[in-house]
């Protein structure tokens, strides 16, 4: 086994091995990025750019069946002879110190499949709700020449707006019970969905739900130039997957404009620059300073910030 101390890492070997689809090197490189081992930027700068591997975001509220759907979609791609990489971002892992068992149980069939690579990442309370190394890790997967990359995130909120900067197309998975129109809009999902997947669509109120969703997507609300498909599925029974795959392909085709790609790259650059500029800010140190000043009664948040 190679020496993995930060100073002795042979990044050229990593780059070469990853491009040769060596999964062990890929896994290690991801761990190095995850742990912020210094020097990995060199590896990233050496990666080939640009790369057209489609990145598909899968998001939606808890209980909508995202993992089951992801599991089924892996099957569709593998069935077409494709190599698939899956990143599961799990915000609760900050608490449990590791990814949850749930995903693993649901996707266990794929963990040992030679054409499937699954990695769970803890969100670790990073500012954006995404794993802090998500962009870099996705670029490593691109370099490893997967045919498609799935990124599953949990939650309903702004974190998905960010994966919109990461994903070429975004599926929002809902269940018919997800709520009335107002509540659904409130979830902030309208902006980021390229495809709405109404899962568990055998439930009695599914058609009403789809009708309401369609109403919300009428021209008055609709983003110009961007079409949002609605697909009904029953992921646990692998129903609706053909149509979903077709819609994903259509959406990816639509999205492949220079304008859109540049917008996504802008979002990614912004995120990475922000990460770099804040690298020197040590929260522990800052906390000690604040503690001293509050104890002395001299602390003023806005002065503190402008002095920093």
Window 271-290: residues binding its own copies (CB under 8 A):
271-274, 276-278, 281, 283, 286-287, 290
Identify the residue whose tokens are 């070469």.
16
Q: Is 178 helix (H, G, I), strand (E, B) or coil?
A: helix
Decide if residue 2 touches its own copies (CB under 8 A).
Answer: no
Q: Which one among 2, 13, 23, 94 touches its own copies, defined by CB under 8 A?
A: 94
Chain-centre distance of CA 225, in angstroms?
Answer: 24
Decide if residue 185 touches its own copies (CB under 8 A).
Answer: yes
Give the number of other CB atoms < 10 A from CB of residue 192: 21
Residues 247 to 276: which contact its own copies by CB under 8 A? 258-259, 261-263, 265-274, 276
* Segment near its own copies (CB under 8 A); pick from 3-11, 21-29, 121-129, 228-236: 121-129
Decide if residue 296 touches its own copies (CB under 8 A).
Answer: no
Q: Which one among 23, 101, 208, 215 touches its own copies, defined by CB under 8 A?
A: 101
Decide if residue 162 touches its own copies (CB under 8 A).
Answer: yes
Rounded to whole angstroms, the Cα distance separating 217 from 247 reads 16
Q: Is 172 helix (H, G, I), strand (E, B) or coil?
A: strand
Decide if residue 100 touches its own copies (CB under 8 A).
Answer: yes
How far CA 40 is from CA of 45, 133, 139, 195, 304, in Å, comes to 9, 11, 12, 35, 33
How near is the Cβ of 195 to its own copies at its closest, in Å?
Answer: 17
Q: Which one among 119, 230, 250, 304 touches its own copies, defined by CB under 8 A?
A: 304
Range 95-100 contact pairs with CB under 8 angstroms and sequence separation of 24 or more:
97/122, 98/122
Give the number of other CB atoms < 10 A from CB of residue 13: 12
Q: Which one among 13, 35, 41, 80 touches its own copies, defined by CB under 8 A?
A: 41
| Dihedral class, residue 232 (left if φ above 0, else alpha if ψ from -120 to 50, else beta) | beta
Residues 220 to 249: which contact its own copies by CB under 8 A? 221, 223
Rounded to whole angstroms, the Cα distance separating 3 from 70 reads 35
Identify the residue whose tokens are 């053909």.
242
Residues 190 to 219: which contact its own copies by CB under 8 A? 190-191
- Strands in 48-147 per DSSP E: 55-59, 84-90, 116-122
Decide if residue 50 touches its own copies (CB under 8 A).
Answer: yes
Q: In terms of CB distance, is 114 or 225 closer to its own copies? A: 225
Q: In terms of CB distance, is 78 or 264 closer to its own copies? A: 264
Q: In terms of CB distance, is 57 or 129 closer to its own copies? A: 129
């Amino acid at each position: 086994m190679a020496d993995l101390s930060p100073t002795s890492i042979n990044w050229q070997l990593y780059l070469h091995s990853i491009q040769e689809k060596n999964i062990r090197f890929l896994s290690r490189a991801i761990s190095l990025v995850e742990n912020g081992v210094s020097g990995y930027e060199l590896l990233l700068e050496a990666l080939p750019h640009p790369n057209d591997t489609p990145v598909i975001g899968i998001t939606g509220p808890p209980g909508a069946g995202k993992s089951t759907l992801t599991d089924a979609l892996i099957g569709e791609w593998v069935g077409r002879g494709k190599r698939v990489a899956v990143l599961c971002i799990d915000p609760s892992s900050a608490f449990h110190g590791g990814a949850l068992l749930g995903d693993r149980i649901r996707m266990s069939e794929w963990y040992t499949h030679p054409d499937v690579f699954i990695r769970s990442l803890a969100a670790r309370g990073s500012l954006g709700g995404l794993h802090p190394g998500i962009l870099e890790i996705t670029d490593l997967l691109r370099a490893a020449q997967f045919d498609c990359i799935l990124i599953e995130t949990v939650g309903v909120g702004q974190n998905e707006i960010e994966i919109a900067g990461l994903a070429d197309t975004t599926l929002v998975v809902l269940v018919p019970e997800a709520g009335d129109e107002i509540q659904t809009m409130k979830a902030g999902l309208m902006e980021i969905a390229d495809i709405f997947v109404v899962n568990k669509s055998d439930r009695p109120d599914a058609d009403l739900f789809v009708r309401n969703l369609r109403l919300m997507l009428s021209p008055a609300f609709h983003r110009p130039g961007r079409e949002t498909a609605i697909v009904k599925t029953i992921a646990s029974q692998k129903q609706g997957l053909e149509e979903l795959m077709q819609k994903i392909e259509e959406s990816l085709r639509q999205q492949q404009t220079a304008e859109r790609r540049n917008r996504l790259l802008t979002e990614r650059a912004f995120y990475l620059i922000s990460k770099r500029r804040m690298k020197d800010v040590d929260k522990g140190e800052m906390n000690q300073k604040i503690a001293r000043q509050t104890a002395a009664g001299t602390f003023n948040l806005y002065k503190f910030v402008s002095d920093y």
